[in-house]
Chains A and B, each alone.
Chain A
Amino acid sequence: MSSLLVISLAAAAVFAIAALGELLEQRAGILNVGLEGVMLLSGTFGFIAAKTSGSYLQGFTVALLTGALVGLLHGFFSITLGSNQVVNGMAIWILGFGLTTYIGYPYTGPLGLKPFPTVAGLPMFFLVALALAIAIWFLLFKTHLGLKLRSVGENPSVAEASGISVTGLRYLAAILAGMLVGLGGAVYSLVYNPVWNYNYLQGWGFIALALVFFSLWNPFLVVAGAVFFGILWQLSLYPELLFPNVFSRYIWRAMPFVITIVVFIVLSTRWFRLRWGATKPEALGLAYQREN
């Protein structure tokens, strides 16, 4: 049972790190629905780098760089060109899915490195996720930079009028977020489940996206939600533990997706939707054009 908890926390780290990245940029008003694509690109390139070089460090470095580049690309579309952010996110997702399917295919199979080390029996990246949550909370709510980031996400024209560079801060948020989301993808492909397969991520990027919506943009609730989903997924992958021989193993594979939807329905109470509307960054998903 304790090993189940450990693997659940490893899964939670994937959800949490990716969702924290998304939270950071959404607080600055940028919506990236293509987390799945960023995670696939970073995860696959990181996997290829780690597999060919035999070093985790190189894998994670490549993943972070890829994430930063994709974040920059999404930023360029959403900030400089100012086109519809949902469409941009879709494009990032399809780009990630399409490119990694082709590029990753020759590397299908296990990573072949010795398992990633744990810290005191806990998955290291879960601790990283916790530290990141604290750091992002501190950044957003206790520093001047965080105040500026949030003001850019709430009301960019007022922020601009008070001398803040909306474009600069949004780019910063997009690139940082890309790196974090990419790290999440690499944690999946290098640590949690180090086997490359066609479309291996199974929509986890979309679950991370939903986690941000349901966290009311609070980093600690993101981690709590990530732990919940981590446990949920592991339970449904090892159903024998709870319900031996009830369904075929394929039905059990479908279960976490169904339960995920049910959880979203249960969470979406009237009370929650009111709170949601109140906390949502006012300018989320809206392009900002500076008046000259």
Chain B
Amino acid sequence: MRAVIGDYTIRVERRADLRWWHTTLASVLAIVVSLFLVGFAFLRVGADPLEVYSEIVKYAFLSEFGLPQTINRATFVLLAAFALIVPLRAGLWNIGMPGQIYAATLAAFGVAYAFGAKRSVNVQLPGELIIPLMFLAALAAGAVYGAIAGFLRGRFQVNEIVTTMMLNWAMLWIVAHMIREGGPFMGRTAEGEGFTLPTSLRLPQILGVPLTVYIALALAVLLTWFLAKTTLGYRIRTYGESPRAAEYAGIDATRISTLVFALGGLLAGLAGYHYFAAVPGVFKIPKNYADFGDFSFYGLITGLIARNNPIAAIPVAVLFGGVSGGARFMQGKLRLAFGIDYALLGVLMIMMVAFQALAHYSVRVERQAAVPRPQLELERGESRVESPRH
């Protein structure tokens, strides 16, 4: 496409090759523009957006209370992003993080419940035995719940986007059944909440953050290695590039899609265990658990912005963990309506897609080379009348 304005020509062309800095710049621009747009919500209630953002940063990254919260939220987002990334490497979409998170949380609390954890917060139970069991039960439940969608996709070609969404809603209500109106996991005092995990069953902390944070960081490296260097990772990527070619190469579609979804579900399950059974101050299935489930959709955009790279997802997750938590904090302070962090999520998502698409185009502004204007010159010997020599 070309537009000419005065002496300048603006040329928009599709890039033949997309370099890494193009996409990085696109992601950064998407984040900046989104924060700018959401700033209007603050402006509407008479607050200065710049001030609000500096307060968000101060709260989320510099304050004693906000920083651990940011780390814990970021870990949740990061694990949810992994749950998207692994299936997406095989070209499949896992948007079933909420369902897998709830399934894992129910399993973890189920183990605690089986050992009589509901009796009292102070009940003494052998944590060194039960905590690993809870952890493994969470991973297994997430994996199994995730694998359903993968198996159906591989075996029956049922669209995985639709299935995972249905599974989310089904699990949402199953959790409600478990914690509300006399359900087995209902807390002893509070209506509509799960029981609180006894102190003896809480995951130990290192340097003020739960162990799961370190596990998530280690997983970023492990996943990168797994996807890039192992045979299985290679098969997953081959299937993602072209399912048909993969099938000719002897890669079983059902097995691959079940596997990637089981892995995705496992990672989402870890996110569920992390937030509900390991983060200080929570240690139960809260009343607004649905809200946390939907918060895992930040993992979706984190995975997309990081372009399926588990390590690149870390800084993105930290940013979103902080900004979303800080926005919640400011929302309370400025008496904004509920959901400013979701508004940011929506705007981010659309901006990310727009800028990633625009990264494929190059815009060049060229100054028009001064094209010599054709001058009216009389050819020699042409004029017959005026010449005095005649």
Contacts and interface: CB of A to CB of B under 8 A. Distances in A.
A92 B169 contact: no
A95 B349 contact: yes
B177 interface: yes
Interface in A160-210: 198-199, 202-203, 206-207, 209-210
Contact of A97 (B174, B304, B346, B356): B346
A132 to B, nearest CB: 22
Contacts of A36: 165
Given A94-B297, A257-B173, 5 more contacts: A98-B349, A198-B290, A254-B173, A258-B166, A264-B159
A278 to B, nearest CB: 14
Contact-size category for A: 35 or more
B304 A96 contact: no
23 contacts: A33-B161, A77-B353, A77-B354, A77-B357, A81-B360, A82-B360, A83-B360, A90-B304, A90-B349, A91-B350, A92-B350, A98-B343, A99-B346, A102-B41, A103-B337, A105-B339, A203-B168, A206-B165, A254-B177, A257-B166, A261-B158, A264-B158, A265-B158
Contacts of A98: 339, 342-347, 349
A280 to B, nearest CB: 11
Contacts, number: 153
Interface string A237-278: 000000000001011011001101100110010000100100
Contacts of A253: 173, 176
A199 B167 CA distance: 16
B357 A248 contact: no
B100 to A, nearest CB: 15
A81 B358 contact: yes
Contacts of B347: 95, 98-99
Interface of A: 33, 36, 73, 77, 81-83, 86-88, 90-92, 94-99, 101-103, 105-106, 198-199, 202-203, 206-207, 209-210, 213, 248, 250-251, 253-254, 257-258, 260-261, 264-265, 268, 273, 276, 289
Per DSSP, chain A at the interface is: helix
A57 B344 CA distance: 31
Contact of A94 (B157, B300, B340, B361): B300
A199 B181 CA distance: 22
B158 A251 contact: no
B167 A257 contact: yes
Contacts of B360: 81-83
A210 B357 CA distance: 27
Interface residues of B, number: 53
Interface string B1-43: 0000000000000100000000000000000000000000100
A87 B169 contact: no
Contacts of A105: 337-339
Contact of B343 (A90, A103, A261): A103
B294 interface: yes
A90 B156 contact: no
B157 A261 contact: no
A207 B176 CA distance: 22
A201 to B, nearest CB: 10
B152 interface: yes
B301 interface: yes
A106 B337 contact: yes
A260 B162 CA distance: 10
